[in-house]
Amino acid sequence: MIEASKFLDELSRNDLNFFSGVPDSLLKEFCFAIDRKFRTKHYVAANEGSAIGIGIGYHLRTKKIPVIYMQNSGLGNAINPLISLADQKVYSIPLFLIVGWRGEPNKKISDEPQHITQGKETQNFLKSLGIKYKIVDSKCNIKKIIKYLKNYSNKKKLPVCILVKKNTFKTEKYKINDDSKKLNFREELLESLVDILPDNSTVVSTTGILSRELNEILKKKKKKINNFMCVGGMGHAISVASGIAMNTKKKVFCFDGDGALTMHMGSLTTSARQNNIVHILFNNNAHESVGGQKTSSEHVKFYKLANSLGYKIVKFCKNKLDLEKAISKGIAGDKSFFIEILCKKGHRKNISRPKEKMQILKKKFVKKLK
């Protein structure tokens, strides 16, 4: 396997030492290594399109090639600036993309359903954009590949890409600083919410570990809550909740995460206009589902932001009791309601994934909506 630090050294030898992107589980060691070696030249972006924009700005200022990293699902967010700004027929901007290949079409590698189609089409996607790419695994010649792609990008003034297979980087021990010892774990807070929510409540939960925790809790408690898990579409849970809440007076609860909400923060301008939305943000200042890397929004007071974007009532909570009081008011209220609850990083390692097919879960959810 490749040591992330040596991979970074090779990038640096090719004058590739500015980084922006959105963390990915396949690139976890790489992301932490960047933070250790290039802290002042590393910018975690709100979303992948923003990372492309940051890279373009860096190039315009320095004439150097930036490194932009992401999961392959993030290519959807990146496509607009890639083809409307960086494209050869527009500004012809060289970029060095490093993309984690989730859902790689290999029978020996299993992945979650939201990655299957994306993984199958990733190479076609890059080809259709005219992006020269090389596939990287644990045994490849990194030195040769990085040098070739960097020179190609520099000469042609075009984006290039390293497509990283699963288990490419060597697993390393690293310490995540956490000053949240007095806070509750998210799973504890979810259990409290499930106990308080009325039977047959409609809940939309964000992508990642949160939905898996909630799914386990609902099954364990046998609670009659109609939950739609956004297993993909990071950052779009509140938009899905908004669509469900339209043309009905029934309350719709959205369980969101800080990394996801940051990705498409503008969605709050729509959800805030609906009086039957109760939006609950679990803030642990981490992209926890992909490794626990920090988000770009550690300085943001989300409850204040929600208020300025139109939510009629906002609450800020630091513990389970605060949350229980706030959600009780949200259930009884008749105005758009936003709750930010701080929570501790970390989760159980044995959290299960939904066993049912997504289409079956969708049918059950729709049936209960009626």
pLDDT for 180: 66
pLDDT for 178: 61
Count of other CB atoms within 10 angstroms of residue 364: 14
What global pTM score does this model have?
Answer: 0.91
Q: Going from the N-terminus, what domains does the chain have, and what CATH number goes with each?
A: 4-164 (3.40.50.970), 186-369 (3.40.50.970)
pLDDT for 107: 59
- Give the 3-state secondary structure of residue 25: helix
Per-residue pLDDT tens over the stretch 187-212:
999 999 999 999 999 999 999 999 99
Amino acid identity, position 34: I
**Average pLDDT per run of 10 along the chain, which is 370 residues long?**
94 97 93 90 96 98 98 95 96 98 80 86 95 95 97 98 95 67 92 96 95 95 94 95 94 97 96 97 90 86 97 97 97 97 91 90 92
Where does residue 270 rank: exposed (0-12), middle (13-18), buried (19+ CB within 10 A)? middle
- Work out the end-to-end distance of the chain between its first and last CA atoms, rounded to an integer number of angstroms: 52
pLDDT for 176: 60
Closest C-alpha among 217, 218, 215, 204 to residue 250: 204
pLDDT for 206: 96
Determine contact, residues 32/291, Cβ cutoff 8 Å: yes
Q: Whole-angstrom Cα distance, residue 212 to residue 224? A: 17
pLDDT for 353: 87
Q: Whole-angstrom Cα distance, residue 205 to residue 203? A: 6
Per-residue pLDDT tens over the stretch 126-166:
999 999 999 999 999 999 999 999 999 999 999 999 999 99
pLDDT for 127: 96
The residues, ordered by sequence, that sit 6+ positions from 235 with a Cβ below 8 Å of its Cβ are 47, 260, 261, 262, 263, 264, 267
